[in-house]
Amino acid sequence: MTQSINNQADAVTVSEAPSQPHPLVEFWQYFRANRGALAGLIVIVAIVSAAFLADVIASHHPHEQYRDALLVPPMWYEGGSSRFVLGTDDLGRDIFSRIVHGAQVSISTGSLVVTLSLALGIALGLIAGYFRGILEVAIMRFMDIMLALPSLLLAIVIVAILGPSLINAAMAVVVVSLPHYVRLTRAAVLTEAHKDYVTASRVSGAGTLRLMLITILPNCMAPLIVQATLGFSTAVLDLAALGFLGMGAQPPTPEWGTMLANALQFIQRAPWVVTLPGLAILITVLAFNLMGDGLRDALDPKLKR
């Protein structure tokens, strides 16, 4: 069990042998060897810093309308200027500034979605996997029902109930992504719960909560970390899709999907209004998928030699 990254404290005391590298060091070696994952990480760091520094980086306010500069093309096109690096939209708003602020929207709602669905999913999965019985049946049946609906349709239904807004769309995506976390946690708990170290812990008098949260959970984290990373990309995609359908962030919020939807009618005259926000979505989602793949390879003991 020295491979699992989260019981590092135990691992270090157990394996004082010089040949065994620290689990985090070993993990980093695997992760670094994957060039795609590294590229993903770099892009994510760039996007997250852009989100944090949006007010500094953005050259204009995202809502500021320049009436004298409607649908100005990006600077490398004819007629573009360095005043608006990526051009302006139909209301004369600077696209670069809106995309940078859009990163803020996507990263913050994405983090909210992943944190909430991870927390709820772990709680339900632990309960199902640890207590078994009727609780498990009830929880897993409920997850099956949610999985029987196509994710976007379920999200649309939830938004129809709650009303369209960014925060309601985020709640909808939390609900939609819940089954994956619950299933993963439960499966991991089921395999861990009967191992010797758990029995040992129980025999030495550990209580139920301690067994669940401190003994078992850290050893189930590897697949959950991978799922959370991939879940971030799904969250960004789903939020953009809902925004695009008019069921997520409402204008003038600079959310990428919403920006795209509002620009549709100008697609022929000013394609950049449509292509650039979409490119931002693609790059963000791609980066998280790349990193998720790298994490899976680095954390999955089955693939290790």
Q: Which of 130, 135, 265, 276 is nearest to 208 (CA)?
A: 130
Rounded Cα gap, residues 122 and 221, in angstroms: 10
Phi, psi of 88 (to 5 degrees): -125, 165
99: exposed, middle or buried (C-beta count within 10 Å: 0-12, 13-18, 19+)? buried
Q: Interface with another protein includes 13 (CB under 8 A)?
A: no
Q: Which is nearer to another protein, 140 or 220 (CB)?
A: 140
Rounded Cα gap, residues 207 and 203, in angstroms: 10
Q: Which is nearer to another protein, 12 or 286 (CB)?
A: 286
Q: Which of 17, 25, 148, 203 binds another protein (CB under 8 A)?
A: 148
273: exposed, middle or buried (C-beta count within 10 Å: 0-12, 13-18, 19+)? buried
Q: Which of 151, 219, 227, 229 binds another protein (CB under 8 A)?
A: 151
Name which of residues 239 to 268 contact another protein (CB under 8 A): 240-241, 244-247, 257, 260, 264, 267-268
Q: Which of 150, 200, 265, 304 binds another protein (CB under 8 A)?
A: 150
Q: Which of 67, 141, 194, 302 binds another protein (CB under 8 A)?
A: 141
Q: Interface with another protein includes 174 (CB under 8 A)?
A: no
Q: Interface with another protein includes 45 (CB under 8 A)?
A: no
Name which of residues 273 to 292 contact another protein (CB under 8 A): 274-275, 277-278, 281-282, 285-286, 289-290
Q: 3-state class of 127 per DSSP?
A: helix
Q: Which residues of 4-28 are buried (b: 16+ CB within 10 A; e: fewer)?
A: bbbbeeebeeeeeeeeeeebeebbe
Q: Which is nearer to another protein, 140 or 224 (CB)?
A: 140
Q: Which of 73, 68, 60, 69 is nearest to 100 (CA)?
A: 60
Rounded Cα gap, residues 104 and 48, in angstroms: 8
Least Å distance, CB 203 to another protein, is 29
Least Å distance, CB 209 to another protein, is 30
Q: Which is nearer to another protein, 105 or 217 (CB)?
A: 105
Tokens of 103: 């990163």
Least Å distance, CB 271 to another protein, is 6
Q: Interface with another protein includes 144 (CB under 8 A)?
A: yes
Q: Interface with another protein includes 149 (CB under 8 A)?
A: yes
Locus of tokens 């859009």: 102
Q: Interface with another protein includes 42 (CB under 8 A)?
A: no
Least Å distance, CB 252 to another protein, is 20
Longest dimension (CA), the chain: 76
Q: Which is nearer to another protein, 7 or 227 (CB)?
A: 227
Q: Interface with another protein includes 112 (CB under 8 A)?
A: no
Residue at 195: amino acid letter: K
Q: Which of 50, 173, 184 is nearest to 112 (CA)?
A: 173
Q: Which of 237, 270, 291, 298 binds another protein (CB under 8 A)?
A: 237
Residues in the chain: 305
Q: Provide the CB-side half-sphere exposure for 108 (13 A, CA).
A: 16
Site residues for another protein per CB under 8 A? 36, 141-142, 144-145, 147-153, 156-157, 159-161, 163, 233, 237, 240-241, 244-247, 257, 260, 264, 267-268, 271, 274-275, 277-278, 281-282, 285-286, 289-290, 293
